[in-house]
Structure 1
Amino acid sequence: MKLVYAIIRNENEDDVTAALMQDHFVVTRLSTTGGFLRKGNTTLMIALEDSDVERCIELIKAQCGRRQQITVNMPYLSGSSLMNYSSMPTNVEIGGATIMVVPLERFEKY
């Protein structure tokens, strides 16, 4: 057995979980926060058989398209003033998913 961790943007969460559940995957959702953009993410945990891993990943990829977004990231400076700080808008790629597959020694559901 394997455990798939999929970190996705909150905006994709409904579509991804619906697609996975329609294909009879059991999904557990956790609310998480990204480091770079400090935006809300959802981490999905999916326990499945080894033979189902590729199908699961393809379903996630199909729902998490990448796109460009302009953002202004203000730095976190503890105890400092930002009055003289100038930040330029940055074009970043958003969307997609971070997927990790790890061995699962035991899985029980009551």
Structure 2
Amino acid sequence: MVIAIVQDKDVGGLLQCVTREGLRATRLASSGGFLRSGNTTLLFGVEEQRLEGLLSMIRETCHQREEILTQAQPIMGPVDTHIPFPIEVPVGGATVFVLDVEQFFKV
């Protein structure tokens, strides 16, 4: 079983790629922690001989990129002392877990 947490911007391309190869995925909506951006968790039941192919598809379609984030105003303290400025932060890519499953079958 492969669990892939993918940024929403990359999900469409990944699902097209795996569907073309005859793989199925279960899609779960989830949200990120750092930027609270939209993520999707994908669950794949895949045979061992197809694992490397799936991992290659994930690597090819899920890319890390830089986004500009403007810091929010502070909640406490004088507002005039805080000057928000944009910073670049890395987002995207995928977090992937590969788990051995004792039994796996499709109904």
Distance in 1 (CA, whole Å) between partners of 2:77 and 2:35 is 18
Distance in 2 (CA, whole Å) between partners of 1:24 and 1:18 is 10
Give the match for residue 11 of structure 2: 13
Distance in 2 (CA, whole Å) between partners of 1:15 and 1:92 is 22
In the alignment, structure 1 residue 41 sits paired with structure 2 residue 39: yes
Higher Cα radius of gyration: 2
Local SS of the residue matching 1:103: coil
Structure 1 gaps of 5+ residues are none
Greater shift after overlay, 99-108 or 54-63? 99-108
Local SS of the residue matching 1:43: strand
Distance in 2 (CA, whole Å) between partners of 1:52 and 1:46 is 11
One-letter amino acid of the structure 1 residue matched with residue 20 of structure 2: Q
Length-normalised TM-score, structure 2:
0.84
Give the match for residue 107 of structure 1: 104
Alignment root-mean-square deviation, CA:
2.1
Give the match for residue 52 of structure 2: 54
- Between the two proteins, the alignment pairs up a number of residues equal to 105
Deviations, residues 24-81 of structure 1 (Å, cap 9, x unaligned): 1111111000000101101110011112111101101111122211112548x8xx54
Instruction: Choose the corresponding residue for 2:29, options 6, 28, 31.
Output: 31
- Going from structure 1 to structure 2, the CA distance change for 1:49 and 1:82 (only over 3 Å counts) comes to farther
Structure 2 gaps of 5+ residues are none
1:37–1:73 CA contact under 8 A, matched in 2? no
Length-normalised TM-score, structure 1:
0.82
- Going from structure 1 to structure 2, the CA distance change for 1:107 and 1:93 (only over 3 Å counts) comes to same
- Give 4+ residue runs of structure 1 displaced > 6 Å after superposition: none
The alignment-based identity, stated in percent, is: 30
